[in-house]
Amino acid sequence: MDVELPLAGPGGRSYAFIIDWHIRLLLALAWAVAAFLVLRASGGTETPGMILGLPAALIYLLYHPVVELAMSGQTPGKRFAGVRVVARNGQPPTIAAVLIRNVFRLVDAFPAFYTVGLVTTMLTRDSVRVGDLAAGTVLVYLPAHNRKAALRQRRLAQQSRLPLDLAELASDLLDRWPQLAPPIRRELAITLLTRGAAPPADPSRVSDEDLRSMLHSLLEPPA
Average pLDDT of the residues in 137-141 = 93
**pLDDT band per the 50, 70, 90 thresholds, residue 196:** confident
In sequence order, the 6+-apart residues with CB closer than 8 A to the CB of 167 are: 156, 157, 160, 218, 219
Q: pLDDT tens across 148-185, in order?
A: 555 666 676 677 777 766 777 788 788 888 888 888 88
Nearest-5° Cα angle at 89, 133 to 17? 50
Task: For residue 148, give the amino acid letter.
Answer: K
For residue 118, is pLDDT > 90? no
The pLDDT assigned to 22 comes to: 92
Average pLDDT of the chain to the nearest whole number: 83
Q: How many CA atoms lie within 13 A of 102 on its CB side?
A: 22
The pLDDT assigned to 154 comes to: 67
Q: Name the more confident of 138 and 173.
A: 138
Nearest to 32 by CA among 60, 4, 63, 65: 60
Distance CA 140, CA 74 (A): 11
The pLDDT assigned to 115 comes to: 87
Burial of 141 (0-12, 13-18, 19+ CB in 10 A): middle
Per the omega criterion (within 30 degrees of 0), is the bond before 200 cis?
Answer: no
In sequence order, the 6+-apart residues with CB closer than 8 A to the CB of 129 are: 13, 104, 108, 116, 117, 118, 120, 121
Q: pLDDT tens across 32-83, in order?
A: 888 888 888 877 655 566 777 888 889 989 999 999 999 989 999 998 888 9
The pLDDT assigned to 142 comes to: 82
Q: Which helix (H) or strand (E) holds 93?
A: none
Nearest to 136 by CA among 145, 144, 126, 146: 126
The pLDDT assigned to 150 comes to: 56
Percentage with pLDDT > 70 across the chain: 87
The pLDDT assigned to 1 comes to: 45
Contact 131, 108 (CB under 8 A): yes
The pLDDT assigned to 153 comes to: 62
Distance CA 109, CA 61 (A): 13
Which residues are registered as beta bridge partners of 87?
Answer: 137
Cβ atoms < 10 Å from Cβ of 44:
12
